[in-house]
Amino acid sequence: MITIRKAMYTGLALVASGAVLAGCAAAPTETPAPTTSGDATTDPTVEPAADFLPCIVSDAGGWDDASFNYLAKIGIDRAAEELGVEAKAVESEAEDDYAPNINTLVDQGCDLIITVGFALSAGTVEAALANPDIMFAIVDDAADNDFDGATDAPNIRPLLFDTAQAAFLAGYAAADTSKTGIVGTFGGVNFPTVSIFMDGFAQGVAYYNEVKGADVKVVGWDHATMDGTFVSTEPGIGFSAGPEALATAQGILNQGVDVILPVGGPIYQSAGIAIQDSGKDIALIGVDSDTYLTDQTGLQPFFLTSVRKLIDAAVYDTVMAAGTGSFTTEPFIGTLENAGVGIAEFHDWASKVRPELSAELESVAEGIISGQIEVTSYLAG
């Protein structure tokens, strides 16, 4: 359990709880203008330092992953434009690039370096400890590699997302939409930031079964054992839309699944191919962005919804705060309450889902926010 204090993210909260539910989510490029960052206030009237240099490093998925790298790049670009500065972005092609790319940005005099993804955690901590005058932030990781419950360097801000809450809603929607009574999920690699989606999804299905007296089954994840189906143990394979991801998706679909949640950046594309090959009416659920809007491979008709992280808004806020002298290392944790996570609208599936579903999801979300409905995760509590 990572014991870090939840930071309220007032700017995100301005979009209100309705924006986290089906039919109400904004496009990922429509980032709200945050007014606070943890305990610090981002004052738009404060002039940024003329020589402020914000920088960012992707993981191996690259900026065009239609997922968290894509959203992080949107966030830093928007902030840089508003601050009147130019951001530096370095794209990693392989795991071996992470530490060298971070050090390259250190050498180029970056004031803030944002690293995207837990795979960059070790390199981020090492660079932050060696460069205490540089501000760092990392997406999807607590930078706690010794697992003592604290960030490993005092100049790193973790940007985290309790996606179990939003995935719970997606699981409920999947169970309600399924005609076979079997839904499925699989991940790229068994990391906490991946399995948190899968487990939240399974919890949502279980809740649906409880309140509806149903018996929808989940393939690919077992909440009791906290284990499931993954593409690989190697990130380079696990987070690629390659033959391994395709075979994994086909194995899930072969078990009668008619709604599937792939968790691992572009591996959703492999699931999409498997759906097309099946010739069946199978729904796909995206992650991180509203993948219906960001996908460039023509899979839009298959998306039931997406489990969203407002990574772009969290990155934007962090850059704005750093550029105006109000940077904080207090961790941000996105939740339904602060609108840091949510699910996308149903798009092309809107006419296929039960008309009452959206209202039920609103009610479930309110229950999660109030604490009446418990969603467990390593970021909860």
Distance between CA atoms of 71 and 27, rounded to whole angstroms? 11
Q: What is the pLDDT of residue 22?
A: 37
Q: Write the pLDDT tens digit of every residue in 323-355.
A: 999 999 999 999 999 889 999 999 999 999 999
* Better-predicted residue by pLDDT, 47 or 45: 47
Q: What is the pLDDT of residue 67?
A: 78
Q: pLDDT at residue 17 above 90?
A: no
Structure tokens at 80: 């840089």
Q: What is the pLDDT of residue 235?
A: 85
Q: Write the pLDDT tens digit of every residue in 132-191.
A: 999 999 999 999 999 888 999 999 999 999 999 999 999 999 999 999 999 999 999 999
Q: Are 259 and 236 in contact (CB under 8 A)?
A: no
185: left (phi over 0), alpha (psi -120 to 50) or beta: beta
Q: pLDDT at residue 46 above 60?
A: no
Confidence band for 99, pLDDT divided at 50, 70 and 90: very high
| Rounded percentage of the chain residues whose pLDDT exceeds 90 | 77
Q: What is the pLDDT of residue 41?
A: 38
Q: What is the pLDDT of residue 45?
A: 53
Q: Write the pLDDT tens digit of every residue in 184-210.
A: 999 999 999 999 999 999 999 999 999
The mean predicted confidence, pLDDT, of the chain is 88
Query: Would you tell me how many other CB atoms lie within 10 Å of the CB of residue 46?
Result: 13
Among 379, 332, 328, which Cα is nearest to 136's? 328
Mean pLDDT of 305-331: 94
Confidence band for 66, pLDDT divided at 50, 70 and 90: confident
Distance between CA atoms of 175 and 214, rounded to whole angstroms? 9
Q: What is the pLDDT of residue 47?
A: 63
Q: Write the pLDDT tens digit of every residue in 218-259.
A: 999 999 999 999 999 998 899 999 999 999 999 999 999 999
Q: pLDDT at residue 24 above 90?
A: no
Sequence-ordered strand ranges (E) for the chain: 36-37, 40-41, 54-57, 88-90, 112-116, 135-139, 156-161, 182-187, 217-219, 221-222, 227-228, 259-263, 283-288, 303-309, 332-334, 341-343
DSSP annotation string for 94-154: SGGGHHHHHHHHHHTT-SEEEEESGGGHHHHHHHHHH-TTSEEEEET----TT-SSS-SST
Q: pLDDT at residue 61 above 80?
A: yes
Secondary structure letter of residue 378 according to DSSP: T
113, with CB counted inside 10 A (0-12, 13-18, 19+), is buried
Sequence-ordered strand ranges (E) for 129-267: 135-139, 156-161, 182-187, 217-219, 221-222, 227-228, 259-263
Structure tokens at 123: 């390199």
**Poorest-confidence range of 36-45, 95-104, 160-169, 185-194?**
36-45
Secondary structure letter of residue 347 according to DSSP: G
* Better-predicted residue by pLDDT, 1 or 210: 210
Q: What is the pLDDT of residue 236?
A: 84
List, in order of start, the domains of the chain with CATH numbers.
10-163+310-334 (3.40.50.2300), 166-308+348-370 (3.40.50.2300)
Q: What is the pLDDT of residue 20?
A: 44
- For the chain, the straight-line distance linking the first and the last C-alpha, in angstroms and rounded, comes to 9
Confidence band for 64, pLDDT divided at 50, 70 and 90: confident
Q: What is the pLDDT of residue 331?
A: 93
Q: What is the pLDDT of residue 6?
A: 32
Mean pLDDT of 120-142: 96
Q: What is the pLDDT of residue 265?
A: 87
**Which residue type is seen at 256?**
G
Sheet holding 217-219, edge to edge: 217-219, 182-187, 259-263, 283-288, 303-309, 341-343
Q: pLDDT at residue 34 above 50?
A: no
Confidence band for 316, pLDDT divided at 50, 70 and 90: very high
